[in-house]
């Protein structure tokens, strides 16, 4: 790394992602690059801090003067004290790049919520918390390998709101073995009793060889789960603005919107992805904390691979991104006879509808969101 020189041709990223790879324990269903304590016994968090500091130095000229969004994800960023974050991120001079509008989200898990640390994160500039709840049923939480129980969730959410955060998202899973519709309804009721502004609800997906795969509910039941969540959240005044995401008015996850709209973002930390909208280029850091530290220690970039998207990849991404948002897509994109015929069938089934506010635009319905994989496959 040459004295903090920017290695990429297009600086001025307005969105920044930082990956914190530590977790209390590895959940049984997790595909993210994260290391439970059992794996990190020999890894000094100070080594990660030092490596991240080096990567931030490498990118000290990569960010825009004003940032739109920051997202600290993982892993469990709430296990890293704010003082450590401040030291490793210092070269980026984040405080100078924040505006009144900047959205700065930090993921947190109930088991690592600490009131003093929350005050420290707020002092850094974090103004949005995304809490990994996943379930409020203790047997399900245990089955999933989560380290918290439902009481821990309640206490953690109370602490977060008491600490002054008023933009709080929660992550919930549905379609989990052992979870029925009444469990799901109770979970939604308990979560929406808090003044949350956003909910992400994902269907549990597992690789075919996973020990719990055979216990996953039938796809008809999964559909019922997804439709129940839609009905409940809309009734509570949330907008279903993306396949798996609901928000109070104006509270979309703006960082994720940057991903879904194909904007540029810079990702730092092991396994982090980046995208440059101008060059149509994406790249990924190595998914190994050890290698990440080693490469940066040698003054080498931790990027594992990069690619410039082909026109075919760009078309596919355009469709995937447009279909996942309630903004929808222009009818004029349906160019072939096959596409128009498929769209007519989906419209008859109630999976696609004309956008109520945007003439000449189509969008998926709640049922369409639940079946979006099928729709994407058929239309592209
Ligand atoms: S807390 Fe999140 S990132 Fe960590 S192991 Fe569990 S699912 Fe993965």
Say if residues 169 and 128 touch (Cβ distance below 8 Å).
yes
Beta bridge partners, 132, equal: 171
Cα 60 from Cα 15, distance rounded (Å):
14
Bigger pLDDT: 181 vs 378: 181
165-193 pLDDT per residue, tens: 999 999 999 999 999 999 999 999 999 99
At residue 4 the predicted structure's pLDDT band, cuts being 50, 70 and 90, is very low
Bigger pLDDT: 45 vs 330: 330
Give the percent of the chain with pLDDT over 90: 86
Determine the residue of 25, 34, 130, 152 to mutate for testing ligand 1's pocket, defined as the one with the most ligand atoms within 8 A of the Cβ atom. Answer: 34
Task: Name every residue whose Cβ is closer than 8 Å to that of residue 91 and which is 6 or more positions away in sequence.
Answer: 4, 53, 56, 57, 59, 60
Say how many Å lie between the CA of residue 134 and the centre of ligand 1: 10
Report the CATH number of the 15-260 domain. Answer: 3.20.20.70
Determine the residue of 19, 22, 27 to mutate for testing ligand 1's pocket, defined as the one with the most ligand atoms within 8 A of the Cβ atom. Answer: 27
- Ligand 1 site residues (CB inside 6 A) read 23, 26-27, 30, 32, 34, 74-76, 109, 132
Give the pLDDT of residue 88: 97
Examine the pLDDT at 305 and tell me if it is beyond 60: yes
Determine the residue of 22, 30, 73, 113 to mutate for testing ligand 1's pocket, defined as the one with the most ligand atoms within 8 A of the Cβ atom. Answer: 30
Give the pLDDT of residue 317: 87
**Domain range annotation of the chain:** 15-260, 313-379
Cα 126 from Cα 132, distance rounded (Å):
17
Residue 292, SS3?
Answer: helix
Q: Please state, rounded to an integer, the average pLDDT across all residues of the chain.
A: 93
Mean pLDDT to the nearest integer, 152-171: 98
187-241 pLDDT per residue, tens: 999 999 999 999 999 999 998 888 889 999 999 999 999 999 999 999 999 999 9
Residue 68, SS3?
Answer: coil
């Amino acid at each position: 790394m040459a004295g903090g020189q920017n290695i990429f041709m297009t600086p001025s990223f307005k969105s920044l992602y930082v990956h914190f790879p530590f977790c209390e324990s590895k959940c049984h269903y997790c595909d993210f690059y994260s290391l439970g304590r059992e794996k990190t016994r020999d890894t000094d968090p100070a080594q990660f801090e030092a490596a991240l500091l080096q990567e931030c130095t490498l990118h000290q000229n990569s960010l825009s003067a004003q940032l739109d969004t920051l997202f600290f994800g993982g892993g469990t960023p709430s296990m890293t004290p704010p003082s450590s974050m401040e030291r490793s991120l210092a070269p980026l001079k984040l405080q100078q790049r924040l505006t009144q509008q900047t959205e700065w989200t930090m993921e947190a898990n109930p088991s690592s919520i600490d009131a003093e640390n929350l005050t420290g994160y707020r002092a850094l500039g974090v103004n949005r918390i995304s809490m990994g709840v996943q379930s409020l049923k203790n047997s399900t939480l245990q089955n999933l390998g989560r380290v918290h129980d439902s009481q821990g969730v309640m206490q953690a959410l109370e602490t977060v709101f008491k600490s002054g955060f008023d933009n709080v998202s929660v992550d919930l899973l549905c379609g989990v073995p052992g979870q029925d519709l009444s469990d799901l309804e109770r979970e939604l009721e308990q979560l929406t009793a808090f003044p949350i502004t956003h909910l992400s609800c994902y269907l549990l997906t597992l690789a075919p060889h996973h020990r719990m795969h055979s216990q996953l509910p039938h796809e008809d039941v999964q559909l019922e789960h997804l439709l129940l969540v839609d009905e409940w959240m809309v009734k509570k005044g949330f907008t279903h603005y993306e396949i798996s995401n609901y928000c109070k008015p104006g509270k979309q996850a703006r960082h994720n919107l940057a991903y879904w709209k194909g904007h540029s973002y810079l990702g730092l930390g092991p396994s982090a992805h980046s995208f440059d909208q101008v060059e149509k280029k994406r790249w990924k850091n190595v998914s190994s904390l050890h290698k990440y530290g080693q490469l940066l220690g040698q003054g080498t970039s931790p990027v594992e691979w990069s690619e410039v998207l082909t026109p075919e990849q760009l078309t596919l991404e355009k469709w995937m991104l447009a279909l996942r948002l309630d903004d929808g897509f222009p009818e004029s994109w349906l160019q072939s006879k096959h596409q128009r015929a498929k769209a007519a069938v989906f419209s008859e089934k109630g999976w696609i509808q004309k956008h109520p506010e945007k003439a000449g635009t189509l969008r998926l319905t709640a049922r369409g969101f639940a079946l979006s994989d099928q729709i994407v496959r058929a239309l592209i």
